[in-house]
Structure 1
Amino acid sequence: MKLIFATNNKNKVKEFRSLLGDQFEIITLQEAGIDIDIPEPHNTLEANATEKSSTIHQMTGQNCFAEDTGLEIEALNGAPGVLSARYAGEQKEAADNIAKVLHEMEGATNRGAQFRTVVSLILDGKEYQFEGTSKGHISTEIHGDNGFGYDPIFFPDGAERSFAEMELNEKNQYSHRARAFEKFIGFLQKKINE
């Protein structure tokens, strides 16, 4: 089965391919010859994921999927949430976003947070959604340099290290994206076997 992954984020492609094995062929936007930055105008992860998958489906007519992920911090009333990638501005710089979060969390005693991923799959013209979450807390400083985004300040529940201190296979044991993709992959396997 061939699917277009509606993203320009190489890190997300790498994570997803590490989970998928070789039973599905994943084509990136670049590999599909599509050079667009799909807007994320909505105020929910669900609607943004749908926007991305439906944009690519309308352009290509092919089976495709997209995802949107947000970091939801309790002390910041769920922010940065849907604005996670551009929390500190349209330049979408992870270091700036992290600096803004750490500044806003100075002195906060409640450091609870979760990453949440919503995957939107369009298969044979019909949309399906899958969600995964990873609960944890925000550290007071940066730890590690693996991963991307907010990984250096997020410690998932049950782990002694930040996402940015983990190798990919360890991160996948806790990851919101891995949990959403497990549901997604399970669904696809059922469809193939029908």
Structure 2
Amino acid sequence: MYENQNGFASLYDRFDNENRSLPIIVGEYACIFEFGNGYPEIGAQTMGMALAEGIMLLGAERNSDIVKGTAYGALIKEYNEEPDTVAVIKHTANQILRSTSYYLQQVFSQYKGEETVAVTSEYGLGIDPLYWSATQTGSTRYLKLINYYGTGSVVDVVFEGDHSSVANIITLTALDCSSTNKLPQLGGESTSILETTITEASGAFTVTFTNPCGVKVLVA
């Protein structure tokens, strides 16, 4: 599955209506063009491109009863041999470039539950610019949120049942939507991961995105 950014951003509900008796593996995927562009390929994923991939991955996670796995293409490339195509990691003889896609997958894989949880929204299933997926392990719940080119997006999250009134928030962001990560000698990484806490007020956790492109995971 190789697509431009717009194509990946349209795949949030890609797996919703698949045959539930047939397992699916996304054997190879990558966002290789920015926005609606075609060739030539881009050499490093922007934050926006990584989030577009993430929208597809949220859809896969919501349908993890049938989507059994995903694999990025390519995982690793030598920087000087493949300067104009994407990879999760690129390297030279003595430096490593971890892409924006690398950090998105790191956050997605680190904060996930063993079973999916239904989400009810007053706006329906995913509404541009916000997309989500919820899972849980035991009493711990994980709500992933992607803000995709949204300005000042705010979400009020209400958990049913017993839960802590203080939740952890893991935020993945970059300087802007067009930011890319570079080799250390060329400027280094633009992405950052920050963990903070948030306190429930009036029965809801209010999650605010200050940047137009970013990921937040609410753990409660």
Same fold (TM over 0.5): no
Smaller-chain TM-score bracket: 0.3 to 0.5
Q: TM-score, normalised by structure 1?
A: 0.33
More strand by share: 2
Q: TM-score, normalised by structure 2?
A: 0.30
